[in-house]
Amino acid sequence: MSKPTENRLWGGRFTGASDPLMDLYNASLPYDQKMYDADLTGTKVYTEGLQKLGLITSDELTAIHKGIEEIRNEWQTNTFEEKAGDEDIHTANERRLGEIIGKHIAGKVHTGRSRNDQVATDMRIFVRENLEKLLEFLSGFIGVLTKRARQEIDVLMPGYTHLQRAQPIRWSHWLSCYATYFTEDYKRLKQILVRVNQSPLGAGALAGHPYGIDREFLAKGLGFDSVIGNSLTAVSDRDFVIETLFWSTLFMNHISRFSEDLIIYSTAEFGFIKLSDAYSTGSSLMPQKKNPDSLELLRGKSGRVFGSLSGFLMSTKSIPSTYNKDMQEDKEPLFDALTTVEHSILIATGVISTLTINKQRMEGALTMDMLATDLADYLVRKGVPFRETHHISGDCVRTAEELKLSGIDKLSTAQFKEIDSRFEADVKEVFDFEVSVERRDAIGGTAKSAVLAQLEALEAQL
C-alpha cells in the first residue's frame, strides 16, 4: 500500500495524510512554476557534477539530460501535466523525470542536494535572467528619452518648483532630468546583478556537500561569477530578493514622479503634451474626456511594488539562521514586482515615444516674472552683491505689479533707474527667454551645449 506522502521529496519520515488545507497552504507550484527552466537547467548542471564524482554513469547522465529536455518542451508547449503531490516546481519536475526515465535513475539526481540550495539556485538564475531583461528594456527607454531630447532641444518651457513657475528651461532639459534618474537606476541594477550572480548550489541543506562536489564547476556551468563561501549563508540568503525589491521600489518611485509630471502637463490647464490614443482611455459618461490612464496606472502600480518590499521585509526580519519556510514568501512579491516593473518600463517607453508636444503652449506659459533672477544677475555682472540685487529685483517685480503692468519688462528704463541708478538702457536685453537658458551653460545647465553634453554622458553609460 502506497504511503500518502510517497511523492513528496521529504515524505519518508511521514506516514499520515496531510490536512488538505495544509497542502494548499504549503503549495507553491501555482506561482513558482515560472522557474521551471531555471530548475531544469540547475538539475542538468548538477548531475554533470555528480557524474564527475562517479555517482552517476555517463549513460545515466545522458538519460537524465534527455528527460530534462523533454520536460522543458512540455512546459514550453503547455502540455506538462501537474499531479497531486506536486507541491512545488522541484517536486513536479523530479516526479515527471521519474515517469520518463524511471525512478531508479531519476532518484539519483538529488544526491547530496537539498531543496534549500536547489531553490536558492533557481531563484538566483531566475532573478538574473529577469534583471538582464530589465537592463535591456531600461536601456531602450532611456534611449527614447535622449533621442527625443535631441530632436526637440529648441523647445522652451517653464521649470517649476513647488508647482509654481520658476525659471525657463528646455523641454529637453526635463527629458534629460528623468533620463538621468533612470540611468542611475540602470547603473544600480548592474551592481545588483553582480551580487545576484553568486552560486549557492552544492551547499546542501545547510552544512555543505557530503561527496565533495566541485562547486566552482557547478557555478561556471550555470553562468555564475562566483560561489557563496558559507553554506549556511548560501541556503538562507534572500538579500538578493530584498535588494531587487528595493531597486524595483526606487525605480517605480521615479516612474511615478515622471508620470505625475506628464499627467499635469497633459491637463487642459497646461496643455503642454497630448498622449496618443494608444495610451489613453475615455469616460463612460463624458464623451469629451481623454484620460491619461497609462500614466495613472504607472503611478498607482508604484504602491503595489512598495508593498511587495515592505511585506517581504516583515516576513524576513525575525527569521533565525539558515532555511525556514517563511522564505517561501519571497516568490510572489518578487515575481509580481518584476512583472510590474517590466510592464511599466515598456508602457513608459510607449508613452514617451508617441506623445506629442504643444510648443506654443509650452513657450506661451513663459512669463517675464520668471526672469527676475536674470534681472538680479544683470546687476551682479556690474559688481553689485547678489544679496543686494535680489532685493532690487524684488522691488522691480513689486513696482510692475503696483503699476498693473503685464510684466517687469514693461518698466521703462527711467523706471528701472528710479528703483536703482545702476540700471542702464541695456537692461532690456535681460528679457529674452532664449538668452536666459543659454546663459546657464555650466555642467548640468539648460543651455543647448550643456543639455547636449548631458545626453552624451547618459548615452555613454548605457
Supply the residues annotated as catalytic. Answer: 162, 283
**Which one, of 275, 297, 261, lies nearest residue 174 by Cα?**
261
Q: How many CB atoms lie within 10 A of CB 19?
A: 10
Measured at the alpha carbon of residue 41, what is the angle toward residues 186 and 91, in degrees to the nearest 5? Answer: 115
3-state secondary structure of 400: helix
Q: Can you tell me the distance from the alpha carbon of 357 to that of 112, in angstroms, rounded to the nearest whole number?
A: 62
* Residue labelled with grid coordinates 528646455: 170
The letter for the amino acid at 117 is D
**What is the grid cell recorded at 461?**
553609460
Q: What is the DSSP letter of 110?
A: T
**What is the grid cell recorded at 410?**
514693461
**Which one, of 235, 216, 246, 220, lies nearest residue 313 by Cα?**
246
Are the CB atoms for 328 and 239 separated by under 8 Å?
A: no
Q: Can you tell me the distance from the alpha carbon of 45 to that of 384, in angstroms, rounded to the nearest whole number?
A: 74
Concatenated DSSP letters of 50-89: HHHTTSS-HHHHHHHHHHHHHHHHHHHTT-PPP-TT--SH
Q: How many CA atoms lie within 13 A of 337 on its CB side?
A: 29
**Which one, of 342, 262, 332, 273, lies nearest residue 301 by Cα?**
342
Interacting residues of 296 by C-beta distance below 8 A, sequence separation 6+: 259, 263
Q: How many CB atoms lie within 10 A of CB 394?
A: 13
**What residues does 291 pair with on adjacent strands?**
281
Burial class (CB in 10 A: 0-12, 13-18, 19+), 428: middle
Q: How many CB atoms lie within 10 A of CB 208?
A: 17
